């Protein structure tokens, strides 16, 4: 296969309105950003609590960089495990009500590393059909028998678990599904996993920091313990506004990951300054409840406005509010129209979502104001007059 063949594939993606392009961000993340020379209202970031450019967090990063330098310098198991890494692990474990926590450089590395450390050939992994790509890749790479159950359908899961003769069984689910915004029925998953002697792993990347009374995520929201959800993953680059990820659970789980998780063992630790900044972010998450309360009000305002406009929203109560469009070409056209009106709202297309289910993935933040939401709804009203975006149910 020559590179000419590769170009043909790329050209085909362009004709299908599936080609991905990068934009140049020229400002910090926030409700208002500057992209490619344009000032835009930002509805496409995962900075749910508006902490990515918080002055206290930035100051913590700077102080720690002066103290510890920039790079981690080595893996955690050599000499890259700094004071701030260690303290952050302790603080995250306490925040999530777990015995211990372990830091990873990204959510992708955490998911792949955890799944492959826990299961292998002769075992079984059972995943929700709409799980994040990192979870699916982790399952496929593990060598375990890989099965996908129908989205948020515990009956489908139970049937597959009952038919399995695997030595170990690992059930894996997102807590908040990143492209749909809905929340998994975690209590039902807990019950089903226990009934079939399976472990449950939950990826709460979009819930930790945002959901639950103290921002400890979906497990806190549902009142689920370490025994109920023995493997809990959360990311730091969304609600916490920094970078990296963590896995929380029992002493045995964390020690197993330290011994066997290749994505933990064989990589340089995150910069200590990132860990220090995240410690400050965590303190803000715990203290400033108004951020979650304000975000909830904005979500209800947006949903109500979309209902008045006759837009087809997926049933989501989270900061992820997908407007269903259908055709990829139409989704791109709507996104471009909104961009011209000063709104950054990205179109999500196949293969991230199924063919024919392209959507605008609107993400809201505590950094937004009620007026920001009004402006977005006004722009959507204008665009709907120019383009028919009624989703073909």
Question: What is the domain-level CATH number for residue 235?
Answer: 3.40.640.10
Residue 303 lies in a domain: yes
Q: What is the pLDDT of residue 169?
A: 98
Residue 200, H or E segment: strand 199-203
Question: What total of structural domains would you count in the chain?
Answer: 2
Q: Which domain holds residue 296?
A: 18-47+289-386
The structure's pTM equals 0.96
- Of 234, 254, 287, the residue at which a domain comes to its end is 287
Instruction: Return the structure tokens found at 233.
Output: 């993953």
Q: How far apart are CA 260 and CA 116, in angstroms?
A: 8
Strand-pair category, 347-348 with 343-344: unpaired
Mean pLDDT of the 63-68 span: 98
Residue 3 lies in a domain: no
Mean pLDDT of the 77-105 span: 98
Flag whether pLDDT at 391 surpasses 80. no
Q: What is the pLDDT of residue 2?
A: 77
Helices and strands, number each (H, E), in the chain: 14, 13
| In a shared domain, residues 35 and 81 | no
Q: How far apart are CA 13 and CA 7, in angstroms?
A: 10
Q: How many CB atoms lie within 10 A of CB 306?
A: 18
| In a shared domain, residues 242 and 270 | yes
Q: What is the pLDDT of residue 54?
A: 98
Do residues 334 and 387 lie in contact, with contact meaning Cβ atoms separated by under 8 Å? Answer: yes
Query: Which is more confidently placed, 60 or 1?
Result: 60
Kindly report the average pLDDT of the chain as a whole number. 97
For the chain, the 3-state helix, strand and coil shares in percent, each to the nearest 5, are: 45, 15, 40
The mean-pLDDT minimum among 3-17, 158-172, 221-235, 370-384 falls in: 3-17
Specify which residues 233 forms β-bridges with. 203, 247
Query: Which is more confidently placed, 379 or 389?
Result: 379
Active-site residue list: 178, 206, 238
Residue 5 lies in a domain: no
Confidence of residue 299 (pLDDT cuts 50, 70, 90): very high
| In a shared domain, residues 30 and 160 | no
Q: What is the pLDDT of residue 392?
A: 72
Residue 13 lies in a domain: no
Instruction: Quick: pLDDT tens for 23-53.
Output: 999 999 999 999 999 999 999 999 999 999 9
Instruction: Quick: pLDDT tens for 104-125.
Output: 999 999 999 999 999 999 999 9
Please give the full DSSP string across 212-263, using - where no structure is assigned: STTS--HHHHHT--TTTSSEEEEESSSTTSS--EEEEE-HHHHHHHHHH-HH
Confidence of residue 393 (pLDDT cuts 50, 70, 90): low
Instruction: Quick: pLDDT tens for 223-239.
Output: 999 999 999 999 999 99
Residue 307 lies in a domain: yes
Specify which residues 176 forms β-bridges with. 183
- Of 287, 315, 336, the residue at which a domain comes to its end is 287
| In a shared domain, residues 217 and 359 | no
Helix (H, G, I), strand (E, B) or coil at 35: strand
Flag whether pLDDT at 1 surpasses 70. no
Question: What is the domain-level CATH number for residue 307?
Answer: 3.90.1150.10
Residue 250 lies in a domain: yes
Mean pLDDT of the 290-299 span: 98
Flag whether pLDDT at 171 surpasses 90. yes
Buried b (16+ CB within 10 A) or exposed e, 26-65: eeebbbebebeeeebbbbbbbbbbbbbebeebeebbeebb
Flag whether pLDDT at 6 surpasses 80. yes
Q: How far apart are CA 112 and CA 110, in angstroms?
A: 6
Residue 197, H or E segment: none
Flag whether pLDDT at 185 surpasses 80. yes
Instruction: Quick: pLDDT tens for 233-279.
Output: 999 999 999 999 999 999 999 999 999 999 999 999 999 999 999 99
């Amino acid at each position: 296969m020559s590179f000419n063949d590769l170009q043909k594939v790329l050209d085909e993606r362009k004709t299908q309105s599936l080609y991905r392009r990068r934009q140049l961000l020229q400002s910090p993340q926030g409700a208002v950003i500057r992209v490619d020379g344009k000032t835009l209202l930002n509805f496409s970031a995962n900075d749910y609590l508006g902490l990515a450019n918080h002055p206290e967090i930035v100051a913590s990063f700077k102080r720690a960089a002066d103290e510890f330098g920039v790079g981690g310098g080595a893996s955690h198991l050599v000499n890259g495990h700094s004071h701030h890494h260690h303290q952050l692990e302790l603080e995250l474990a306490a925040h999530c009500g777990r015995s211990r926590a372990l830091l990873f450089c990204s959510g992708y590395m955490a998911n792949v590393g955890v799944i492959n450390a826990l299961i292998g050939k002769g075992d079984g992994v059972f995943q929700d059909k709409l799980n994040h790509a990192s979870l699916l890749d982790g399952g496929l790479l593990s060598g375990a028998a890989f099965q996908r159950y129908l989205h948020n359908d515990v009956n489908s899961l139970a049937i597959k678990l009952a038919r399995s003769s695997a030595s170990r069984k690992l059930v894996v689910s997102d807590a908040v599904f990143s492209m749909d915004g809905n929340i998994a029925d975690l209590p039902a998953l807990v019950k089903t996993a226990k009934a079939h002697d399976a472990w449950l792993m939950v990826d709460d990347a979009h819930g930790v920091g945002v959901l639950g009374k103290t921002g400890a995520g979906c497990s806190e929201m549902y009142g689920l313990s370490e025994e109920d959800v023995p493997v809990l993953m959360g990311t730091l680059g969304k609600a916490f506004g920094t970078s990296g990820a963590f896995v929380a659970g029992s002493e045995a789980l964390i020690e197993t990951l330290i011994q066997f998780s290749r994505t933990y063992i064989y990589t340089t630790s995150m910069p200590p300054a990132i860990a220090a900044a995240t410690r400050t972010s965590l303190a803000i998450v715990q203290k400033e409840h108004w951020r979650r309360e304000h975000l909830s009000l904005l979500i209800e305002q947006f949903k109500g406005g979309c209902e008045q406009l006759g837009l087809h929203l997926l049933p989501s109560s989270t900061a992820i509010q997908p407007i269903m469009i259908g055709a990829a070409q139409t989704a791109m056209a709507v996104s471009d129209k909104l961009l011209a009106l000063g709104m950054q709202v990205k179109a999500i297309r196949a293969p991230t979502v199924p063919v024919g289910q392209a959507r605008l993935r609107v993400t809201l933040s505590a950094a937004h104001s009620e007026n920001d939401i009004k402006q977005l709804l006004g722009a959507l009203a204008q665009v709907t007059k120019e383009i028919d975006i009624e989703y073909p149910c």
